[in-house]
Amino acid sequence: MWYSDPAWWALGISILSIVANIFTLGYRRSHYRGEEIKRKSEIQRSLTNQAREINEGFARLGVKSPYAHHLKIKDEKVNEFTAKAVMLLHQLNMLREVYQNRVVLGNEEFQIYSKWASTILRPWVEADADLKNVWFLSKEAEDLRYPDFSKWLNNILPILK
């Protein structure tokens, strides 16, 4: 019988070994990809925190920000402008975090933030010329960075000039 032949046993063990190696490589690749995604998320969060600290520094120290400089804000209005701009940028950063983590948050939570942006944030921006200018400059400068996020944001915040 075939099962009494040692060559068949050796072939069977070889095939099992190959299959085990394939599964191990698949697991390692999957694990590496998961670690890569986790690391990217940590870097993005760190960059968002740095941006927040920089923006808050402009407001706290009364330094004319690049946005204020670009929009030619008069020196006597820099503090008020920067405070508003920083608050808007913080909220945009929060929405970016929501968008990037929408799968983890789930659809219900994601929709809550979307509705908040449409019903609360949008009218606030539309009511203030400085905020509208910051909004349009951030879009023009591609400060929002991610095309999918920008598209989603434009849908929930269709602010007109």
pLDDT under 50 in the chain at which residues?
A: none
**DSSP state letter for 63:** P
Three-state DSSP string of 13-62 = HHHHHHHHHHHHHHHHHHHHHHHHHHHHHHHHHHHHHHHHHHHHHHHHHC
How confident is the model at residue 95, as a pLDDT? 93
How confident is the model at residue 41, as a pLDDT? 79
How many Cα atoms occupy the beta-carbon half-sphere of 62 within 13 Å?
3
How confident is the model at residue 108, as a pLDDT? 96
How confident is the model at residue 83, as a pLDDT? 92
pTM higher than 0.85, yes or no?
no
How confident is the model at residue 44, as a pLDDT? 79
Give me the residue spans of the domains in the chain: 2-156
How confident is the model at residue 144, as a pLDDT? 63
